[in-house]
Each structure stands twice: as C-alpha cells, then as structure tokens.
Amino acid sequence: AVLNRIKDVDEKVRAYVTVTEEEALKRAAELDEEFKTMESNSPLKGIPAAVKDNMCTRGIKTTCSSKILYNFLPPYNATVVEKLDESGFILLGKTNMDEFAMGSSTENSAFFVTANPWDLQAVPGGSSGGSAAAVAADEAVFALGSDTGGSIRLPAAFCGVVGLKPTYGYVSRYGLIAYASSLDQIGPITKDVTDCALVMNAIFGHDPKDSTSAKVEVPDFTGFLKNDVRGLKIGVPKEYFGEGIHEGVKKAVWDAIELLKDLGAELDEVSMPHTDYGLATYYIIAPAEASSNLARYDGIQYGYRAENFQDLIDLYKKTRSEGFGPEVKRRIMLGTYALSSGYYDAYYLKAQKVRTLVKQDFDRAFEKFDVLISPTSPTPAFKIGAKTDDPLTMYLTDVCTIPINLAGVPAISIPCGFSEGLPVGLQIIGKPFDEGTLIRVAYTFE
Ligand code: GLN
C-alpha cells in the first residue's frame, strides 16, 4: 500500500531520491513468513519506513543529495539502519535533503526540490525535508532524519508531523555522513508521539563504534505515554517569542501552553539571555567542522570525479568545484577561514566560548524547570524560492532550534495548530537524557 502511495503522489511531492521497491517487497515476504512462526514480534516488524539519504545503507545509494556522492554505494549500514533492521522494519528508500544537510528548505538538494504535502508551492523545511514530507504524505509510516541545527524539527513543524532531536550522544552517529560532528544527531520523524517512542526504543543506545556515544540506559519510552502533566514545571523562555515570530505561530503555541496549564502544569517565564548569539555561534562552528569533514571528498576513493584534469591538484580542484553546490562551497569557505591560523582565536575559539554560555542558559533554566516550551520555527512553511537568494534570511529560520544543538539537549517538535492554513510546530526542550519527559508532555496533545 505504501509503495502504491509513493507511485501515486511522489511525482508531486518528490520526497524520495531512491525507492527500493524490489528489496522492500522481498523483505516484506520474508517477514510474512516470520510472522507465521515467531511468538513475539517487535512493534516495528513489517513497518515500512524511509531513511534520509545521509545515512549509510549497504549496497543502496547514499548521496547526501550531492553530485559528489551521486553514485556512492556504502559497503556497510549505519548503526541506526542496522538496529531498525534487527527490529524488522522495511526500508522503502532514501529521502531527499539539502546537500550535506546544509539548509532549511530542501531547496539545496543537487537533484530536485521536495514539496510540502500541505501546499505543493511551499517548502517542506529542511534539511530532512524528504523524510518529513514522506511521512506527512503517507509515503512512509515513519522516517529517520538528522538534526544539526534544526533539520529534524523544522521539517516536522512545516509538514505537521512529530520530530525528535535526541540528546547529543544518545543515538549512534556511526554511518551518518558527517556535517558538523559536535552537533549532528539522528532522530525519528513520525505521525504521532506513540510512533516516536517506538522508534526511539529501536534506535537509542550506546554504540562502541561511535566514540561520542553515551553509555546511558535506555528506558522503554512507551512507558512515558501517559496523559499526565500535573505538577510539571514548564519554563517559557521569553527570548523565543520576540521579534520575527509570526502572530499566528505565537497564538498556536500559546494556546498549547494554556492547555498544559489547564491540565495542571506549573508555568513560569524564564530568560535565556544568550539566545541571540546562538545563530552567529552556530554559523562559525558548523561550517568550521564541515570544512574539515568535507575535505575527504577528493574524487579519489569514491563518488564523483572530474573528467579532464592535468595533475592531482587539478583533479581535486575540478572534482570539488563541479561536485559541490553553492551552499556547500559557501560553508567550506567560511569554515576554512574561521579555522585558519590568525583567525582561529578570533572566530572558532570565541564561538566555542559563547557556545558554553548558551549551554549555561539551559543548565540554569533546568535547575528550575522540567521542560521548556517555544515555537519550533518563527513562521509556517514559506513558498519555494522565497528565500533562496538570501542565505542570511534562510539562516534565520533556525533561530529557535539552533541553541538546542549547541547545548546538546533534546527537543521534540509536535504539531500544535495552523497559521495561514499551514501547520505550526511546538518545540518542547528537555534536560539531557530526559527524553522520557519530552514524550510525556508531547503525548498530552495526542
Ligand atoms: N539549517 C541549518 C543549516 O543549514 C541546520 C541544518 C541541519 O540541522 N542539518 O546548517
């Protein structure tokens, strides 16, 4: 049924870069056999899902929506894919994204633009736009995305679905093609909070193959699916409701906050004074790490290679000039500049210090509150093309999500109403490794 749905609507939505129809049907047939004989089955068994095209899938093209990896066939699976395999999911295919996850609208894909299923003229958000659009358009039951500065939560908000960015280190990054390693996390994009908890159960946990993976117990997240927020202390950070936040978005988010109050949560305003510096800090740190991570694409071992070259240096230059898109090149240049000797102290080191200040805002807030609540994005989905000429305006889309990655804390985006006919996302931010409480609060709205 899901494959038929893809055939019916993906021509318009364009969520998938690759659909693995044959493999999916084969796997489904195998699982049908298992269902007959196995006594207990994992809740994800036989569930068809999509994976963002920056997570390695053995023998299945993994392109990062970039020309430079257009033909890359990974020889191994990312740990999350391996884990989902163990739980019996069916891979439907790989979803479109901003090239190397750099972007907020999926317009930076080297291949094509994905549309928002609610309005085909609007963007689905990014960079995991293909994953969110696939779930919203019923082209997958759930999907995986990755989030460096908002790339799971923003598209989830724009497409009216649920998206969770886990605590840094809670989900293995092994096999996730790196963008900014100190910020990247993989997480679920689902139709509802119950599904989110089920996917979390499958993908969370320590992985010796990822040196930044945390050794923390994974609870059964379905245990937090309770309609009970009585006595929970909820902070509303005032800096997240300032200038630039649409009235319709504010209203939808405040309605949700009022509902939590009616249900017995205790609310109070909180100040996070370094919020304003989040974006600038991120746009030093993320490009710096990206410039280093993307140095490996040289046309030698895998991916695209330029055809006419004079010598090795010329091969590198031509391959990278032809293989990377404009936004990726912009980030590599910014990052290389910020890391270069003479500028390192002024930019990268300074940004790391400000990052600590941003994190301390969260530490302080969590001394008093169990969760914090904000909009996921200042506006609902914008029209395709509306911000492509102005990277700075595009960067502003992530003001509400970026500080969370800098601090390494978890956050979930859930739908909380509509503005101008398009979905609005509510962001619930939690203490490190306290995703359970996020699920508990989010479930109130289910
Ligand atoms: N939009 C932000 C960027 O372009 C965040 C992307 C992400 O989370 N991968 O870097």
Per-residue pLDDT, averaged over 195-214, amounts to: 98
Annotated catalytic residue within 65, 66, 105, 127 = 127
For residue 385, the model assigns a pLDDT of 97
Residue 52 is among the residues annotated as catalytic for this protein:
yes
Annotated catalytic residue within 52, 165, 387, 431 = 52
CA of 397 to the centre of ligand 1 (A): 10
Per-residue pLDDT, averaged over 90-106, amounts to: 98
Residue 341 is among the residues annotated as catalytic for this protein:
no
CA of 289 to the centre of ligand 1 (A): 13
Annotated catalytic residue within 65, 151, 213, 377 = 151
For residue 130, the model assigns a pLDDT of 99
pLDDT band at 85 (very low <50, low <70, confident <90, very high): very high
CB 103 within 8 A of CB 66: no
- Sign, CA torsion 110/2/91/411: positive
Which protein residues are within 6 Å of ligand 1, measured from CB?
101-104, 127, 147-151, 179, 286, 398
* C-alpha to C-alpha distance for 70 and 65, rounded to whole angstroms: 7
CA of 226 to the centre of ligand 1 (A): 32
CA of 286 to the centre of ligand 1 (A): 9
CA of 206 to the centre of ligand 1 (A): 25
- Cα R_g (the chain), whole angstroms: 21
For the cut 90, the answer to whether the pLDDT of residue 35 exceeds it is no
Per-residue pLDDT, averaged over 355-381, amounts to: 98
Q: What is the CATH number of domain 1-274+353-446?
A: 3.90.1300.10
Residue 151 is among the residues annotated as catalytic for this protein:
yes
CATH 3.90.1300.10 residue window(s) in the chain: 1-274+353-446
For residue 123, the model assigns a pLDDT of 98
Give the chain's largest Cα–Cα span.
71
For residue 36, the model assigns a pLDDT of 84
Both tokens assigned to 44: 């994800």
CA of 140 to the centre of ligand 1 (A): 23
For residue 392, the model assigns a pLDDT of 87
For residue 343, the model assigns a pLDDT of 93
Q: Looking at ligand 1, which atom is closest to the CA of residue 147?
A: 8
CB 139 within 8 A of CB 5: yes
CA of 136 to the centre of ligand 1 (A): 20
For the cut 90, the answer to whether the pLDDT of residue 34 exceeds it is no
> What percentage of residues in the chain have a pLDDT greater than 70?
100
Mean pLDDT of the chain: 97
Both tokens assigned to 438: 């996020």
Mutate to test the pocket of ligand 1, among 52, 55, 98, 99 (most ligand atoms within 8 A of CB): 98
Give 86: exposed, middle or buried? Use CB within 10 Å, 0-12, 13-18, 19+: exposed
For the cut 80, the answer to whether the pLDDT of residue 39 exceeds it is no
Structure-model confidence comparison of residues 341 and 313, the more confident one: 313
Mutate to test the pocket of ligand 1, among 65, 97, 127 (most ligand atoms within 8 A of CB): 127
For residue 366, the model assigns a pLDDT of 98
For the cut 90, the answer to whether the pLDDT of residue 37 exceeds it is no
CB 131 within 8 A of CB 13: no
Per-residue pLDDT, averaged over 164-169, amounts to: 98
Per-residue pLDDT, averaged over 383-402, amounts to: 94
For the cut 90, the answer to whether the pLDDT of residue 41 exceeds it is no
Q: Looking at ligand 1, which atom is closest to the CA of residue 152?
A: 8
Strands (DSSP E) contained in 157-247 are 162-165, 185-190, 233-237
Q: Name the residue at shortest CA distance from atom 10 of ligand 1.
A: 102
Task: Express each pLDDT in 187-200 by its tens digit.
Answer: 999 999 999 999 99
Per-residue pLDDT, averaged over 91-101, amounts to: 98
Per-residue pLDDT, averaged over 400-425, amounts to: 98
For residue 370, the model assigns a pLDDT of 98
Question: Cβ of 267: how many Cβ atoms within 10 Å?
Answer: 15
Where residue 112 falls (left for φ over 0; alpha for ψ -120 to 50; beta otherwise) is beta
Mutate to test the pocket of ligand 1, among 377, 398, 413 (most ligand atoms within 8 A of CB): 398
Per-residue pLDDT, averaged over 152-160, amounts to: 98
Q: Looking at ligand 1, which atom is closest to the CA of residue 394?
A: 1
CB 302 within 8 A of CB 72: yes
For the cut 80, the answer to whether the pLDDT of residue 38 exceeds it is no
Q: Looking at ligand 1, which atom is closest to the CA of residue 179?
A: 9
For the cut 90, the answer to whether the pLDDT of residue 16 exceeds it is yes
For residue 209, the model assigns a pLDDT of 98
